[in-house]
Amino acid sequence: MQALQTEGVTAGYGKIPIINDISVSAETGLITTIIGPNGAGKSTFAKTLVGILKPMSGRIAVNGVPQWDGAVPEPEFLRRILSASSTG
């Protein structure tokens, strides 16, 4: 089962995109890392995953439940992201 899935996520600060069209999935029970050079957008992506930043476009789902579709994320969004790999 996919614990986390993103499709075409673009995010940034103000109107300036930092990451563009990111699509990834992470399976339940596996460790997934984000690596890259300084300034590549790792922190921006992580902030978008946990709901600190709203994506400019794209979709994020945790355990198959959409988190962003133009709506404010549910209050338990961060808890589900952090516990997704331990469920199943």
Three-class DSSP category at 5: strand
pTM to 2 decimal places: 0.74
- Domains in the chain, number: 1
User: What's the order of all strands across the beta sheet hosting 65-68?
Assistant: 16-27, 2-13, 57-62, 65-68
CATH number of the domain residue 60 falls in: 3.40.50.300
41-79 tens-digit pLDDT:
999 999 998 888 889 999 999 888 888 655 555 556 556
Say whether pLDDT at 2 is over 70: yes
Residue 27 sits in which domain range? 2-86
